[in-house]
Amino acid sequence: MEDQNSQSNLLTELEPYQPSDERDGWERAVFLSTSMAALSSNILASYVRYCLDGAKADSVNEPFAVVDADYTRTTKEILTLGLWLMICEECGPKVPEWFQSYLYTAFQVADELCQEPTVTAIFETYPMDNGPIAVAQTLSMIVCHRLGLGATKAEAALALGDYILNCRARREDLLKFSLTESIMALDAWVADMKPQSI
């Protein structure tokens, strides 16, 4: 994590690229939230594959399937945590106003992409005041239980948190891309998006 007293070099580098107006900020936030939702879905799929690969015999019903509502809810939770991690990872104690506004818009877009649970409800569910590691571990344990993956392997309860925290470089790439590329390039990227492993 960056020095708690200063923003990251990436945020300093991106400052000249801050959205030019409200519409520009909205369109860029749509890309950021959409791409982060795709990353979140890929993280969840990778976690499920990890748990099932070499799982203890009879630890899950075969064929294993995640209920759509659970998958959607969990993806939204990972998306919300990922956007919040951008603040934790890129900012010191003072979040630049333009970045705060940009991520607030991205949270609004996240609620439009998936209405339940709301970003506010997610923030109220997890111990955000305890920092990124505690939040990632709590989410991981809840999701492990929700999906019934706890019996698959000893590491299953905390593995999702590791997947989330270890994707910092991808979050940074998406943040940078969302601010430095043209809206046309962002739209083309979303149109070409395909699922991929983490």
Q: What is the pLDDT of residues 53-105, one digit of tens each?
A: 877 777 776 667 788 899 999 999 999 999 999 999 999 778 999 999 999 99
- pLDDT surpassing 50 at residue 21: yes
Q: Which two structure tokens, joined as six digits, stand for 37?
A: 């939702």
Contact 140, 5 (CB under 8 A): no
DSSP letters, 75-97, are HHHHHHHHHHHHHHHH--SS--H
> Could you give the 3-state DSSP secondary structure of residue 14?
helix
Digit-coded pLDDT (tens) for 139-160: 999 999 999 998 898 899 999 9
pLDDT greater at residue 59 or residue 2: 59
Nearest residue to 40 (alpha-carbon basis) of 74, 3, 90, 84:
74
- What is the radius of gyration, based on Cα positions, of the chain? 17
Question: What pLDDT, on the 0 to 100 scale, is given for residue 55?
Answer: 74
For helices 168-180 and 183-191, what crossing angle results, to 10°?
Answer: 130
What element of type H or E holds 63?
A: none
The reported pTM is: 0.90
Question: What pLDDT, on the 0 to 100 scale, is given for residue 6?
Answer: 66
CA-to-CA distance for 19 and 16, rounded, in angstroms? Answer: 9
- pLDDT-wise least confident of 19-28, 62-71, 103-112, 118-127: 62-71
Q: C-alpha distances in angstroms, 150 versus 6, 42, 130?
A: 39, 20, 24
